[in-house]
Amino acid sequence: MSCPDKHQMLSHYLDGELSGEARAELEAHLKGCEDCRNDLAVMRGIERRTDRAIKALQVEEKGFVEKVMRAISGRHRSIGGAGTNWVVFLSILAGTVLLVALAATLIVRAVLNPAPCPPLPVVAKLAVGSGAVEVEYPGGATENLEGGSELVAGCVVTAGPEGALVELGGAKVYIGPKSRVGLPVIETGASYLYDGRIFVRTGDEPGRAASPGASIELEARSSVYLGTEKHAIVIPEGRMTLTTKEGKTEHAAGVIDDARAFRPSWVPASQLPSVWPCEGGSHLASGWTPLEGPGAGAKAERLRSDMKAIPALALDRSGAPVVDVLYFAGPLKTPGLGMTRRPDATLAVSYAGEVRVVERGGAELKRLTGISPVGPPVLIDDDEPVIATGSVLKRGDKVAGPISTKLLTGPAADGEGYAYAVGGGGYLLGLGPEGECMRMKIDGLAPVRPTVTRAGDVFVATGWDIWKLARGAEKLPEQAHARVDAMPSCQMVADGKGRLYCVTKRGTLRIFSPGGAQLFEHDLVSPARGLAIGRGRTLYVLLEDGALWKITE
């Protein structure tokens, strides 16, 4: 028995829910296994303690039932005190009371079932629900709705244990488990009114709080992720304005072009009693299989949900994802910025202030200190990693740059020793094998690490376009290579056949042919932190929420 199986078996055994055969098998196993016997004893102990504690909540039968029934009869019959001298009077009274009660019942029914009101406009659609999504209509009526239901203006959606996804105009709103969200009454645009406080951080600005009751306006192409663990709202793109209840604009953020630099978090108000941490938002996408269009029939499987601490995604020699950075790099004292890997399984791991080159197994080949890399370095050979630091790209004594702004990403390199990184203000900076410096200004360049193929093609993104640059190109080609629904959320990857893989900030995975035609799409809900292609064209995706997905076509 493996450990998880064992635990579940013991738990079922304890509850008397094992079948005769399984029970006999387990009992035979228990006789010979001290570990399992100990585990069972521990479980029994906790069980006894839990039982005592929960049983203490039990209520005394007689008093409770009487109280309820008294209240019911009080509400429905208005019974007075009985006396022998009042028999006749009471008979008349009883008749009257009955009539009054009947009339009252009719009135109550009329109030409960009023004449139909003019229908409210449908503003949203419940895309996927767990089956336990509750919707409270304006006026207080409630209903449990399934995926596909239409939602009217002014209703409040309370997500079930798996959250809910609401499609609102062009925007998608993911509501984390046990969270509530009010749908806009205003039909124009998309605005949300939360009763919680909203904290906003943009760029280097310290966090600031918007007042309770502020609303958020989003453009049609924005996505909202109402998170779970920290109750965060992530707005990958678009313009966001916070407006107070009184209509005063409190904070206008301008165009948001970097989701990571713009992460407001929502602290739920006290009337949200049940916001508990969950395993990660993307589990909502579990089991989604596109029925038609690109990607139909692909299988997406969530392997893990606990990888928030893993800074980047890399594959080991066998093509499986590295899930434990400590195995490669030894104990980390400062947060890592990420790691890159070469085919011979050597890793370069960068930290604030230093870069380490670590061999598979943990042996340290090189350590560079006193530098501040902005992202994981890249290894061209085992001696000198290329590092993006400040406004320059460095490899040993060879330096490209500076540019007039800071670099925003770590470098990526091709098979011939050319490395590229993206800087602020739309700069693409390159360093050649002999120290050649390449600078290109590209308007709207996405601040994600460029994707470089071994053949020397460089892929970068601007807004909704992906561009392909040949090695040594001095300007963008006439036409974009492909078009996406939002900027890439992390470095795109290209496979050996020239196919390009991209997860956008709206959480959609898109795969393009070498010619730029879209071959596949799959909604992962959350933006990604890393992408890698394993054996047999298996794609691994590490999402912002810490989930690791395996996607096979």
Q: Which residues bind other proteins (CB under 8 A)?
A: 7-8, 11-12, 15, 17, 38, 41-61, 64-65, 67-69, 71-73, 75, 131-132, 134, 142, 144, 158, 161, 177-178, 268-278
Distance CA 157, CA 143 (A): 10
Which of 110, 517 has the CB closer to other proteins?
110
List of residues 6+ apart from 448 with CB closer than 8 A: 409, 422, 461, 487, 488, 489, 490, 491, 492
Distance CA 540, CA 543 (A): 10
Which of 131, 207 has the CB closer to other proteins?
131
Which of 43, 320 has the CB closer to other proteins?
43
Which of 4, 293 has the CB closer to other proteins?
4
Least distance in angstroms from the C-beta of 305 to other proteins: 13
Least distance in angstroms from the C-beta of 181 to other proteins: 15
Which of 71, 352 has the CB closer to other proteins?
71
- Identify whether 402 is preceded by a cis peptide bond (ω within 30 of 0): yes
List of residues 6+ apart from 14 with CB closer than 8 A: 40, 43, 44, 47
Strand intervals (E) in 211-318: 215-218, 223-226, 233-234, 238-243, 249-256, 265-267, 299-304
Least distance in angstroms from the C-beta of 69 to other proteins: 5
Query: Is 400 within 8 Å of 430 (Cβ atoms)?
Result: yes
Which of 96, 274 has the CB closer to other proteins?
274
- Which H or E run includes 337? strand 336-341
Determine the 3-state secondary structure of 421 from DSSP: strand
Least distance in angstroms from the C-beta of 524 to other proteins: 23
Which of 53, 82 has the CB closer to other proteins?
53
Determine the 3-state secondary structure of 505 from DSSP: coil
Strand intervals (E) in 229-313: 233-234, 238-243, 249-256, 265-267, 299-304
Least distance in angstroms from the C-beta of 173 to other proteins: 20
Least distance in angstroms from the C-beta of 279 to other proteins: 9
Distance CA 217, CA 291 (A): 32
Distance CA 332, CA 378 (A): 19
Least distance in angstroms from the C-beta of 104 to other proteins: 12
